[in-house]
Amino acid sequence: MDGERVENVSREEAVGAVLVPAALAKAVAGRAWFRDRVGESGCEVYRLARPGVPDLYLKMAGDATLGDLVDEMVRLRWLRGRVPVPRLHGFGLSADSGWMLSERLPGRTAYQLLDADPAAAPALAASLARFLRRLHAIPAEQCPFNADHALRLAAARERMEAGLVDETEFDACRLGRSARQVWDEMLAALPAQFDRVVTHGDFSLDNLLVVDGAVTGCIDLGRVGVADRWQDLAILWNSLAEFGEAAAEAMLDAYGIPLDPAKLDFHLRLDEFF
């Protein structure tokens, strides 16, 4: 959940309290409200602060994103106790709106840490990989959520045909191509086999919290489900590549897997559609 990032004054602005359902009113009473202006994924996200107690985060969805918020809530509940994720403090739902209240995880995002100290990238990359291996070790047969390539391809095609793919946001190696061109290239190089593990779905540096080099938990859980492990490995590899080849290589070494160029390319192309 993007709104659960740690405080950064350049990303936030103080705002007045927002009306919430009665069931959540007591939990948010007396708190200062700060609107998160970065990476809200269509939802409104607020950090709620009060001296002497931990911050909370409130994510609010309208009609268009209500299903996404419900998806995230049920996955958060399922993951709790399996890997570190935020504790859910409350959830409200109406016909066209939703509210999810959760705790703030300790630490800073992996991206914030590497942005401040790029030289730490290889060591931190290894820590992130060990956490990812822990997530992938959850028995896939216990996971009730599907996120495999077939499902994502269907969703990607729907977004492409609806004109929802932002071609200006493609990675540098694909800038200038149309969504249709990327789609055709992706299908032409479809890997022959996919494995099945419990994946995060958007295992990027902004979605991992770290304290003293150890991952304290992951956020933004709406895409969790059973899929090919390279769904996560590709996104993390791409995120780390910004900080040098050694970081991406350290991640794969710590995870214990060689680079699979075909899988890497497929999943990075598929991610362009979301």
pLDDT at 38: 66
Answer yes or no: do 52 and 120 share one domain.
Answer: no
Are 202 and 237 members of one domain?
yes
Instruction: Give the angle subtended at the CA of 92 by the CAs of 90 and 98, to the nearest 5°.
Output: 120
Assess whether 212 carries a catalytic annotation: no
pTM, 2 dp: 0.89
| pLDDT (0 to 100) of residue 1 | 39
Distances (CA, A) of 44 to 89, 99, 138, 165: 17, 10, 31, 21
Same domain (yes/no): 87, 128: no
pLDDT of the residue at 36: 85
**Identity of the residue numbered 199:** T
Q: Are residues 147 and 222 in the same domain?
A: yes
Task: Specify burial of residue 33 (Cβ count, 10 A radius: 0-12, 13-18, 19+).
Answer: middle
Q: What is the CA radius of gyration of the chain?
A: 19
Report the number of distinct structural domains present in the chain. 2
- Shared domain check, 117 and 60: no
pLDDT given for residue 178 in this prediction: 97
**Which three-class secondary structure string do you get for 53-122?**
EEEEEEEEECHHHHHHHHHHHHHHHHHCCCCCCCCEEEEEECCCCEEEEEECCCCEEHHHHHHHCHHHHH
CATH of the domain at 65: 3.30.200.20
Q: Are residues 67 and 134 in the same domain?
A: no
Residues of the chain scoring pLDDT < 70? 1-10, 38-41
Which of 2, 171, 195, 202 is labelled catalytic? 202
> What domain range includes position 92?
2-103
